[in-house]
A and B are shown apart, each in its own frame.
Chain A
Amino acid sequence: EAGVVQSPRYKIIEKKQPVAFWCNPISGHNTLYWYLQNLGQGPELLIRYENEEAVDDSQLPKDRFSAERLKGVDSTLKIQPAELGDSAVYLCASSPAWTSGYYEQYFGPGTRLTVT
């Protein structure tokens, strides 16, 4: 079974430029998450999708960040314009439906963003 796919794996951009990250979750996983992970920190949730609906975007900085999951499968996270402080790893994860009180989030390899 293929895992969560993310691209690109690495991205270097200058500040004020736009950038976009793409994620394809595991087939059949309705829930998709975007996390941000800074060096030495745990992942922090940016947004969670249930199918095509963003059900939790309270931590997404909406002045510069946007996300979409138009057909309820793959998703795109965009930053415009990027700032130096956005340098981090952006992780995508997916999970199956909640069953029996147990679930697991499967993470993609992440996109390492460097803003110069």
Chain B
Amino acid sequence: RKEVEQDPGPFNVPEGATVAFNCTYSNSASQSFFWYRQDCRKEPKLLMSVYSSGNEDGRFTAQLNRASQYISLLIRDSKLSDSATYLCVVGAGSYQLTFGKGTKLSVIP
């Protein structure tokens, strides 16, 4: 079983749609959780951290379920500019991050 698994994608959605990405992790000792965004042929950039209580940043909502070892990202009212690959990232120690393969999102006009 891979350490971090994500929906294989790709997701093709119309503008304005709501889309949800799921991620599971295998290491129960994991302590920190993130979603990174990676545009085509660009470097990954932090989108948001994920907290146990859930957190929201504008149109983006992240949820964490430690018991199920499950992380989600919800994007509401999708924009063309949201088209990218979304990487689920799990940290097991102070600096050790494990990246998922990523899920590609294409928002269609």
Mark A residues whose CB is within 8 Å of B: 31, 33, 40-45, 48, 56, 91, 95, 98, 101-105, 107-110
Contact = CB atoms under 8 A, between A and B. Distances in A.
Interface string B19-35: 00000000000011000
Contacts, number: 43
B87 A31 contact: no
B99 A109 contact: no
List of 7 A-B pairs having minimum Cβ-Cβ separation, nearest first = A42-B99, A107-B43, A98-B94, A104-B46, A43-B99, A42-B101, A107-B44
B97 A45 contact: yes
A24 to B, nearest CB: 14
Interface string B94-107: 11110111100000
Which of B43, B46, B94, B96 has most chain A Cβ within 10 Å?
Answer: B43
Nearest to A105: B97
Bin the interface of chain B by size.
Answer: 10 to 19
Contact of B102 (A33, A42, A45, A48): A42
Given A42-B102, A43-B44, A107-B45, A101 B32 contact: yes
A54 B69 CA distance: 31
Contacts of A102: 32, 49
B1 interface: no
Contacts of B42: 109
Which of A33, A95, A102, A105 has most chain B Cβ within 10 Å?
Answer: A105
23 contacts: A31-B95, A33-B95, A40-B102, A42-B4, A42-B87, A42-B89, A42-B100, A43-B44, A43-B99, A48-B96, A56-B96, A91-B43, A91-B44, A95-B95, A101-B31, A101-B32, A103-B94, A103-B95, A104-B46, A107-B44, A108-B43, A109-B43, A110-B43
